[in-house]
A and B are shown apart, each in its own frame.
Chain A
């Protein structure tokens, strides 16, 4: 009994003690200050890391390059300007070039693909030339030949008559007069070390005829031209289109499926059965599965088992795999968003005689839409940067033509991966340019989604 009466009084004294309170207060404030500095340091470290990364990438997309023409245009036409040549002369240059080294078709492939047109040719491969090119003024003996009978000299005649000077000039410049990147320098090197670079270019004997010029690797031409094996000429068009189509298709598949699942789990299921709990737990676990596993799944199901539908290693397979990958992210975020809608809104709607579906469609979904969109942005951002699953399902690394839904494809991250690996000069620079492009695409996607989200929010708060 004495213990119980004594202890409180000592406790009360301890609480009332002015001195220990003051020294304790100093300690408490000190603790808070230390934590505050720790948090600030964390932010600073994060920002420094991000800036270093950005600098590293951006530094590579503009800078000096030493270039050399592989075939000097002056030697092609005895010193005359290429543009002043006639169609006949250009056709001769092109056909001759196409007979050297590995190119022994004498320009036939160019004739078939760019002058006749592949579709026209395939519709009737045995037709004589005069029929395939009805508008061209062909000599009768050449016009009677079929494609497989053409000799290089015949091809040259047909090209001169049918291709037109501009098409031929373009082909000669892009295919014959190539430019070789000898070395590329970063922006900082180019700016602060210019003299040393000039000295190096001038003194290197192997680099005779090399020119030094500024080059922005991320330029409009880079975005719109096809991929080639030469870094300076290569574009990223196929990968950019591949990424855009894949992401659009992915969201188109994953958004309705994910939101639908979330609506069912939150609004219809009672959450009591073991089966529903099992599903919920599994969705949460799936969100943490490494993306490469999804790649294996996609390979087994979409590329192999469903090959008759997806046509194998195509954009459809890629989008389906990506959709599986981001589905858990979208479901979980949509569930959170639906759960955050106040029950009072549902009650009010039911109280006015709304059915469950009317309540979901008119009240719950609009109120949850900002959160659902946030989840979709997260999923999309993840999908646009994924490489591993696409490598597994067999994205190509070199695609020159624009992707279709059932064609082989490549995407930006795959291109970054292959170009970064390439030891030749110029490739790490176009990889850097592609990284910046990928970031821009990502930001554009996110900005669109954020604008959409804000519009929903504004609509709700009036």
Chain B
């Protein structure tokens, strides 16, 4: 495993609860700076839950609670004096379904900077242009920035969402299955974009697609499900971190049998 100095985020014994039900147990892993870390695993294994714990998005769900430590540059994100708004400004997020605001392309990208108090038209123009160029969307929309973001195709919408995220210059970008609603060509465009973005950002991606994890990521964390029978025959399920390793190693030389069965496609 990498040294602490190169870690953007470090998770130590993270547990997530939804209204007192354990959803993810005891996850410890580093997120390396300027690398792409992929979270894979079967449905319900808690990979998205862990991802949302990294920028305190779980705070928005009533009854959600995080235990353990999520350290970002040596600071625990869940310490009482930390403002979640600041966390999300440093650790941005791209969602599973493209969710542009029902506004123009320009306003979508300018939204983040405006939140931060940027009102100067020239500065905004510059940020918008740089961000849309940064998400490889500029050539397709440069003549029509006034058009509604919702009028774009699915793949373009997702790249718009990425542009929107990088407009506020975060350190880390979290991507929650960003290609699951897209066709293969749009997916390829996003993957190429990620490889470009990782030069300046740290990326964490949740994906169902193991080929995608193999293609784009440097490190992979595999999550699996644990089950237990409670009194009364009710089954309780929660996710755990099964294995974390460099992608190459995890896919070709997995340590655990469960990981191997999963990447061979025996369950999912």
Partner of A353, one of B88, B104, B148, B151: B88
CB distance from A294 to the nearest CB of B (A): 35
- Taken residue by residue from 346 to 386, chain A's Cβ proximity to chain B (1 for < 8 Å, 0 otherwise) reads as 11111111110010001100110000000000000000000
List of B residues within 8 angstroms of A358 by Cβ: 115
Cβ contact within 8 Å between B168 and A353:
yes
B203 to chain A, nearest CB (A): 15
Contacts A272-B62, A362-B111, A462-B149 given: A350-B99 contact, CB under 8 Å?
A: no
Is A460 in the interface zone, CB < 8 Å from B?
yes
* Chain B positions within 8 Å of A347 at CB level: 57, 60, 93, 95, 99
Q: Which residues of A contact B168 (CB under 8 A)?
A: 352-353
Nearest chain-A residue to B90 (Cβ)? A353
B85 close to A353 (CB less than 8 A): yes
Most buried by A among B55, B95, B99, B168: B99
From B55, B89, B99, give the contact of A344 (CB < 8 A): B99
A443 at interface by CB-CB < 8 Å: no
Whole-angstrom distance between the Cβ of A224 and the nearest chain B Cβ: 45
Q: Mark A322-349, 1 if CB is under 8 A from B, else 0.
A: 0000000000000000000010111111
B85 touches A348 (CB 8 A): no
Chain A residue nearest in CB terms to B174: A351
Interface residues on A, range: 20 to 34
Nearest A residue to B87, CB-CB: A353
B65 at the interface (CB under 8 A from A): no
Asked whether A461 is an interface residue with its Cβ less than 8 Å from the other chain, the reply is yes
* Contacting pair A348 B148 (CB below 8 A): no
Inter-chain contact count A-B, CB under 8 Å?
75
* Chain A residues closer than 8 Å to B164, beta-carbon distance: 348, 352
Taking the complex as formed, is A31 at the interface, i.e. its CB lies under 8 A from any CB of chain B? no
Q: Are B150 and A351 in contact (CB under 8 A)?
A: no
Chain A 449-462 near chain B by CB (<8 Å), digits 1 or 0: 00000000000111
Contact yes or no, A462 B112, CB < 8 A: no
User: Closest CB-CB distance, A455 to chain B, in whole Å?
Assistant: 14
Of A272, A345, A350, A355, the contact of B101 (CB 8 Å cutoff): A345
Q: A20 contacts the other chain (Cβ, under 8 Å)? A: no
Cα distance A358–B115 when bound, in Å? 8
Q: In the complex, what residues of A have CB within 8 A of residue B150's CB?
A: 461-462
Binary contact readout B127-168 vs A (1 if CB under 8 angstroms, 0 otherwise): 000000000000000000001111100000000010011001
The answer on a CB contact under 8 Å between A344 and B148 is no
Interface residue A5 (Cβ < 8 Å from any Cβ of B):
no
In the complex formed, the residue of B with least CB distance to A366 is B102
A270, A461, A462 pick with most chain B CB within 10 angstroms: A462
Looking at A271, A345, A351, A460, the one whose CB has the most chain B CB atoms below 10 A away is A351
The 9 closest A-B pairs by CB, nearest first: A462-B148, A353-B89, A344-B99, A351-B93, A460-B102, A352-B112, A353-B88, A348-B99, A270-B62
Chain A residues at the B interface, C-beta cutoff of 8 Å: 270-272, 342, 344-355, 358, 362-363, 366-367, 460-462
16 contacts between A and B (CB under 8 A): A270-B62, A344-B97, A344-B99, A347-B93, A350-B60, A351-B165, A352-B88, A352-B115, A352-B165, A353-B86, A353-B88, A353-B112, A354-B111, A358-B115, A367-B102, A462-B151
